[in-house]
Structures are given as C-alpha cells and as structure tokens.
Amino acid sequence: MGDDDGGARTYDAGGGGPSAYDEEGGGNGDGDGGRVSRGDREFILLEGVEKVFDVRRRTGFLKRERRRVRAVDSLSFSVARGEMVGCIGPNGAGKSTTIKMLTGILTPSGGRLRVAGIDPARERMRLAHRIGVVFGQRTTLWWDLPLLDSYRLMHRMYRIPDARYRANLDRLVALLDLGGLLDTPVRQLSLGQRMRGDIAAALLHDPEVLYLDEPTIGLDVVSKTRVRDFLRELNAERATTVLLTTHDLQDIEQLCSRVMVIDHGRLMYDGPLTGLHRAGESERTLVVDLEREMPPVDAPAPARVVRVEGPRQWLAFPAAESAAPLVARIAAEYPLVDLSVREPDIEAVIAKMYAERAERVGQAGRAGRAVRAEGRGSAAGDATEEDREEDREEDRGEGREDGRGDGREDGAGRVVS
C-alpha cells in the first residue's frame, strides 16, 4: 500500500496521454516483471476535473437569479491500486461531489476522470460491478426490509454467483458482527449498526474500490473503532483501494498513510498527515488533570500552558510531535491524575495553510475565492466552455496559479495550491 515515491505526490500524469487502462491492457500489473504498471499507479485518476452547478433561485415575483457554483475546480490526483487515502476539507469543499463523479452519479463539467480505466460517467453500470459506495448520511439499504432481504436483493441486482455471495455474506456478517441483526428491519437499527450493514452491502460483490463518504459520522467511539478495524483489515487482506472523506482526523490517523485536503474544490495538500500538521504548523492539546490546583506546569518549549482551570491545565504542543516525552515529564514532576490529547481542528489547520499561501502569493485577499456567485445568464446546465474560459481569464488576471504545478514541497507532503 501507499507511496512508492517516499510520500511526496506529483501530478504529472505523463502529458495527459491515455493510461494503460484506456487500452485495457494494464489491469493487474504483473506482466512487467514485478514493476507496478501505470494502470495500477493511476487506478483512480483525475486530471483537471471540474464540476460547476447551475443553481437558480427565485429573487422576486418573476425574477430568478442564476448562480454558478464551482464545486470542483481543476482537481488532479491519482490513487494507486490498494492505497487507502483520506480526503478532508471543510463543509462545501467539494468532497462529496468528487466521490459522486467517481461513481458516475454526477458528470464532470470538464477534465478527465478514470476509475480502473473506466470513464464513470459513460460506463456507470460497468463500473458499478467494480466499486462499492457508502454514504454515511444516507443508506443504500431498504428501510422497511430486514437487513438480509436487502442483501438478497443486492445478490440479484449485481448478479453475484451464489457460492461467492454466500461466502462473502458469511465473512462480512462475522467481521462486522451482524449475525444478530439480519432479521431486523433497517429502520430499527442504530446508526452504528446501520453503518456496518451498509458497509457489508457495499462489499458483497467484491469491489476493487470502496468509496466511503463520512463512514464514521455520528458514531460513538466503540462503533467508530469497529468500523476502522474492519476497514484496516479489508485493505490489508484484500488490497481493496479505499478513498474516504471525513471530518474526523482520527479516521485518517488510524487508517490512511496519505491525506488530501480539498477546499473550494481544489487540492490544497497531498501527503502524510504529519506533513499536513507541519504545513499548517498546527498544534495538539494535552489536557492534564492534577491532584489539586497548581500554578502552570513547567513545560519544555515549544510546549506551553495555554489555559488553567482549577486542577485542569491545557498544554499546546506541535501536532507533528509525539506527546510521549511531554506526558512523561509531567507525570514525573507533578501529581498527575488523568490526561487526554486533543487533535487540532482541521478547519484551523486549513485556515493556517490559507494564511501561509496568501503570504506566499502576496495576495491575502484572494484566499477565500473559489466558489463563485455569478449573475450572468447562459443556457441551462453546467457552465459553457466560454464561461470557463472567462473564469480562466479572470484567474490569470488575478495571478492565480494552476494547482498542478505550483506546489511547495515541504519535505513530506505537497502543498498544492
């Protein structure tokens, strides 16, 4: 799994020529003496992908305003077969839209997209047999039917051979602990049970790629752990390629060697999580409960006490560093009762990245623009090529750099734009 290039990502897909998959030749990568084929390296491939939504809203009795929302903007990345990649970003960043384009539910407004050599928008049905999808906020199961009936329907829909269906069902039921739930109508399942039910449904047909959109949203700690353990095992045992979106950094920390940050539809960072912390210079917080109220503890720099409330103290320290030496020092010198470590808020990390980027480009005012509201009218549907060219003109005028070439290497990952 993971990076064959030491962690840093580059986006040169070889000049945009057809991938091995386009010729239907590079499926398994075994034919060239153990070298990973291009089809495997670019199992999921996006090149300059865009999605513009045309939104109309009533602004008066007879007046309508047309707004163009650029949900995904020149997005380019690739994911190798068997990789497990996390995708994070604030609300409305374009993560779900990207997943929907990768399944063929949505058609890109521009750019090139391939999954296992298949163009999702053109061959959605063919792709469906090779991918599984879980949307954390929605279920693909039949609400009023017992769980097992949903699986039986999927057995038929995907035309899964009987023996394979039975073997997969047995395995998934055991791994996801669904045995006692198969006769329960989906509407009676708890959120965590339903999520496990949905994950099993997405895997019954042995997909090579699994997309998970917020797989742990709303789950309690025990359910989160169960889901994460299962995904880790799935990836290790079956080399299933996993692309997941999340707001929970612990999902990434525990599952993915690589994280992509998307904001305003653009790729802002691609690399290991530790590199993201470095890029954003973010901090974690060690919360310590002492036996009694005390003056701020003497923490070794750069750690420092940022808050004291009774016997509880909060210490900020660099997120990329281990908490262990700090914990050991406090435990040795103070009457420590309890402690916990809090992860940095991803929105704060991204905000810091923005500030750094704005400084780098010298255009502090540019940082918030990407989702654009435009009043001009045009034919229904997505943006026309003319509109997009106008946007590009604007971008050039404002000195925006293209996300593919302007990345700043930070030694671990890549700050892309």
Is there binding between residue 95 and ligand ATP (CB under 6 A)? yes
Minimum distance, C-beta of residue 387 to ligand ATP, in the bound complex (Å): 16
Near ligand ATP by CB under 6 A: residue from 24, 55, 157, 399: 55
Using the rule CB under 6 A, give the single segment among 92-100, 185-193, 274-282, 288-296 that binds ligand ATP.
92-100
Q: Which is nearer to ligand ATP, 2 or 110 (CB)?
A: 110
- Rounded CA separation 231/210 (Å): 10
SS (H, E, C) the chain: CCCCCCCCCCCCCCCCCCCHHHHCCCCCCCCCCCCCCHHHHCCEEEEEEEEEEEEEEECCCCCEEEEEEEEEEEEEEEECCCCEEEEECCCCCCHHHHHHHHHCCCCCCEEEEEECCECCCCCHHHHHCCEEEEECCCCCCCCCCEHHHHHHHHHHHCCCCHHHHHHHHHHHHHHCCCHHHCCCEHHHCCHHHHHHHHHHHHHCCCCCEEEEECCCCCCCHHHHHHHHHHHHHHHHHHCCEEEEECCCHHHHHHHCCEEEEEECCEEEEEECHHHHHHHHCCEEEEEEEECCCCCCCCCCCCCEEEEEECCEEEEEEECCCCCHHHHHHHHHHCCEEEEEEECCCHHHHHHHHHHHHHHHHCCHHHCCCCCCCCCCCCCCCCCCHHHHHHHHHHHHHCCCCCCCCCCEECCCCEECC
Is there binding between residue 59 and ligand ATP (CB under 6 A)? no
Minimum distance, C-beta of residue 141 to ligand ATP, in the bound complex (Å): 21
Q: Which is nearer to ligand ATP, 99 or 189 (CB)?
A: 99
Residue list 332-391, contact with ligand ATP (CB under 6 A)? 371
Minimum distance, C-beta of residue 400 to ligand ATP, in the bound complex (Å): 19
Is there binding between residue 93 and ligand ATP (CB under 6 A)? yes
Minimum distance, C-beta of residue 318 to ligand ATP, in the bound complex (Å): 27
Q: Which is nearer to ligand ATP, 93 or 178 (CB)?
A: 93
Q: Which is nearer to ligand ATP, 96 or 240 (CB)?
A: 96
- Under the phi-then-psi rule, with left for phi > 0, alpha for psi from -120 to 50, and beta for the rest, what region is 92? left
Minimum distance, C-beta of residue 227 to ligand ATP, in the bound complex (Å): 18
Is there binding between residue 71 and ligand ATP (CB under 6 A)? yes
Q: Which is nearer to ligand ATP, 46 or 303 (CB)?
A: 46
Is there binding between residue 215 and ligand ATP (CB under 6 A)? no
Minimum distance, C-beta of residue 67 to ligand ATP, in the bound complex (Å): 9
Given the structure tokens 């890109």, which residue do they identify? 108
Near ligand ATP by CB under 6 A: residue from 37, 97, 139, 313: 97
Near ligand ATP by CB under 6 A: residue from 3, 53, 130, 390: 53
Is there binding between residue 28 and ligand ATP (CB under 6 A)? no
Q: Which is nearer to ligand ATP, 95 or 400 (CB)?
A: 95
Residues in the interface with ligand ATP (CB under 6 A) total 13
Using the rule CB under 6 A, give the single segment among 35-43, 85-93, 162-170, 350-358 that binds ligand ATP.
85-93
Is there binding between residue 69 and ligand ATP (CB under 6 A)? yes
Minimum distance, C-beta of residue 25 to ligand ATP, in the bound complex (Å): 33
Minimum distance, C-beta of residue 103 to ligand ATP, in the bound complex (Å): 13
- Rounded CA separation 107/100 (Å): 8
- Where does this chain bind ligand ATP (CB under 6 A)? 53, 55, 69, 71, 89, 91-97, 371
